Every structure is written in C-alpha cells, then in structure tokens.
Structure 1
C-alpha cells in the first residue's frame, strides 16, 4: 500500500477544519496509508481525540512539537499567527526517514486524488507550488518591486507545498530565515509567502493552480481566463484542492461562497465519522 506523508501547521483552534481537510483527502484518495504530521507549539487539547479520528481513516497522527523558538522578530497577527512560519523549518523537526512531504493549509478541501501530485519528481527543486499570478498580474509586479526579487517569474502561494525534505535539510538554514525576517519585517505583507518567494522562489517547481491550488474566491476569473473551459463541471472532474483563501471562510455560518455547500457537506461527514468511533 502506498504511503503519503502530509504536513500541517496549526494552532489549537483548527481541530474541526483539519478533520474536514483530512476526511476529504481520504474520500478522494483511497487505498493509501497516510502519515499526518502536525507542527504545533505545544500539545493540543484535542490530541487524543484527533489521534482516534486519524485512526478511523487509516492515518497515523504524528505531532511535531516546536516549543519555544526563534520567531520573536516575526510579524504576528490574528490572521497570520506564528504557526504560519513553521512550515519553513519543517525539515528540522521531521523524522529522518521522511524524504518528501505534502504541506497543506487547513482551509483546503480535497475533491480529487492527490496521488499524482505526490508522485511528482522534483529532485532538483526544494518545493513544488502554484502561483496565482494569472489571476493578479499587477500583484506579481508589485511583489517583485517590494521584495526586490526581479529574477523570479512567479509569486508562489504557500498553502500547498510539495516539499523535497532531503534537499531542504541541506539548503534551508534557520539563520537565513531569521535574518530575513529581522531585516524585512516592516515590509512583509504575506509573511511566510514573502520569505518563501524571496529566499527560495528560484528553486520552486511550478504546478497549475487551477488543479492544485484553486482560489475558491476566483471561480469566475478562472472561467474567463480559460474561455469557459474551467467551469464547475471541469473543476469537479479535475481540480484536486479548493483553497479558501482570504478572510471569509466556508465554515462561517453566513458564508455564501460558491463552494460553501460542498465544504459544509464534507465537514458534516467528517464530524459524523468522528462521533461514530
């Protein structure tokens, strides 16, 4: 049976959302064993419940406790908590036997098989990631000026990262990240993404966002860009990850986004699965 390593980085408030993401992965990627690594500052209140939930999905939960760390100079807010930086140092905490891992934000819904992405060969790159630059070309230009990385063609979203752990262990140094945060902290807008793109953007293998990091807010834009090809039917058949970027989230009571009903359906099934144990 194939084994896929998954990585998340969340605080104590994302229990239900993480369950929904994992349940959607299980439904759409059967016949696979998952190791679920979760970067966290300290042990969660729901640690035991989550361990049991994972077991019902044929997944093994493996917490990675960060503890006190050196992110004291990093900009932190309600929208951008300290946990967003942990993915950049995941290789320092993962077991030695992990050579590849797929990082996902917990506001992502899986609607097709993730195996093709995980099987992607990226041995000469640190990461594989998607850019949303075709949706916001002006933003890409602004980011190049702001971050002064003119040689990098794309500004990559950090919500879906296929990580070449063997390579990041050798190339990514904690001190480089800390030094960048300290030097640029007043200009960081999307902090973890700014670091990722500034320091490592030239070593990222591009993957199509319409398949692997579909911005759920922009469905009409995707449809226009594709001359009508990437419509709802296409998305259901081809898109792997719906990413609910931005402030408004589908689990909020009054959210009326295009994919909110689909998300809440998976959330309901995930909750029901956890209560039948």
Structure 2
C-alpha cells in the first residue's frame, strides 16, 4: 500500500536551518505513515543543502529547492524582521512543479502538535487559500486593518503563517503584475508586508479556519482560555490544536525566551538534532 503524500512549502533564508528542522520533525512525529515533499523557496542554494537533504531522507521526506534568484521583489519594502523571503510564498505557484495542485505553506516558527492529514485533505473548492485570522484575540486590530488597507469587504485579516494553497486556482488568478502594482502604490503603508498584500488582493478568496486549531498564537494561551470560558485550556490545546505559531519578536529558540510552550518547542528541537546524529 502506497503512503499518502503531503506537499509542504517553506520560504526562508540561509539562517533558518535549525528552525526548519524542528518544524519538520514535529510534522513527522505527529503525522506518521505519510510521505512529505518539502519545497523550499530561496534566492540561491543553501550552504547546508546536503545536510538538510540527509535529514529529510531520514524522516521519509524529499527536499526540493525552488530557486527564485535575486530579482524578484527587489523593490519591496524589507527590514530585519521582514526579509525579502516573506514575499516568496505569494508566487509559489509559479515555481512549484506542474503536478502540484495543493501545498501547505508554513512559517518556520511553527510547531505541529497533532496530525495534519485531515486538514490537508480539506476541500478548498474555488478558494485560493485556507487561512486563519487572529481577530478573535482583538477585534480592534481587524477594524484598523480594514481602514488602513481600505478593504472593507473582507471579513477578517488573515495571518499568512499557515496557508493551505489551492495551487491550481493560484496559477489562474494570482499575477505578479498585480502584486507589483500594489506594492508600488502602497509601499509606504505596509506594516506586515506579505499579509497586507494577501489580505488586500486575495482576502475575499480565502476559506477561514479556526485559529485555535490551525494557527494558535502561542503568546496568547491565557486569552484563548478566557474568550472560550475556560474551554480552550492547556489540555484542550494539546489534544486539539494542530499548529502552534510562535508569533512576535520573541522566539522559542532564543536563550532567554519565555512562554507556556517554549519547553515543548525546545524538546522537539532536541529530538530533531538527535535525528541527525542517529543517521550520520
């Protein structure tokens, strides 16, 4: 019997090797009996490509780099927190192999803690993406973003860290020229650049997901518990949440990071490194 196959997509620079390993190990640990194709959008080949290829092979995954070159998004606003790589996911459909019809994009600061098979099998119909909003954590932010981006029809402001992408539809409807024109017009007002583009141009074509399951903000576990009248507590999260997203400036791999789920992240990071040792 052949294994079920899941396509994964990441967009990182040369500095995120360890974080990517941790995310992938968590996916493998919680979604067994599955073959993963791991596509990584990048400007050029990474210095650690051979080591990463071996790591993926040990987890029954294949590493398939997608090389964009340096010309794409050279005009887009960037800074230390938001490098050029954040934009690449918007054009993934142009670089993925022609046989790919669906792909799951994940930020490299995400930890998987439950099986993703049911989520990946979600029927996207004609939607471009499935994504979650953190609007239930603060409705005020959603209103501000609607005014700032002048996009009043979109119900929510979606987080771009977890995107189930309908590649077939994206090839038909997402055009580089539209993204380029938007950035040229709005570059001075883009705060979360790739998310602003995603929501402004394609927000009406996104299938909404519950963030407490598919994109839980790891900083806000107490708020989740409060707004659910105690239902979404730590036990519920461990049993039901699929993706923990370590949003914000403070990251769980940093030496002095704090938070309810940091020790869980560090545990998966440790196991990911053991995988490399055991297979050398």
TM-score normalized by the length of structure 2:
0.98
Q: Residue 126 of structure 2 corresponds to which residue in structure 1?
A: 124
Partners of 1:133 and 1:236 lie apart in 2 by 22
User: What is the DSSP-based 3-state SS (H/G/I as helix, E as strand, rest coil) of the residue aligned with 1:71?
Assistant: coil
* Aligned counterpart in structure 1 of residue 215 of structure 2, from 213, 216, 228: 213
CA drift of 1:275 comes to 1.5
Shift of 1:69: 2.4
Contact 2:132 2:208 in 1 (8 A): yes
From 252, 260, 267, the counterpart of 2:262: 260
**Superposition RMSD on alpha carbons, in Å?**
0.5
- Which residue pairs with 1:77 in the alignment? 79
After TM superposition, list the pairs within 5 Å mapping 1:193-204 onto structure 2.
193-204=195-206
Alignment length, in residue pairs? 277
| Structure 1 unpaired stretches of 5+ | none
SS in 1 for 2:156: coil
Deviation at 1:276, TM superposition (A): 1.4
Q: Is the 8 A contact 1:39 1:63 kept in 2?
A: yes
Aligned partner of 1:143 in structure 2 is 145
Q: Which residue of 1 is the match for residue 44 of structure 2? A: 42
The CA distance in 2 between the partners of 1:265 and 1:70, in whole Å, is: 37
SS of residue paired to 1:72: coil
Cα-to-partner distance string for 1:178-226 (whole Å, 9 max, x where unaligned): 1101110000000000000000000000010000000000001000010
CA distance in structure 1 between the aligned counterparts of 2:99 and 2:125, rounded to whole angstroms? 16
Normalised by the size of structure 1, how large is the TM-score? 0.99
Is the Cα contact below 8 Å between 1:73 and 1:185 reproduced in 2? no
Unaligned runs of 5+ in 2: none
1-structure distance, mates of 2:135, 2:71: 33
The equivalent of 2:19 in structure 1 is: 17
Deviation at 1:256, TM superposition (A): 1.6
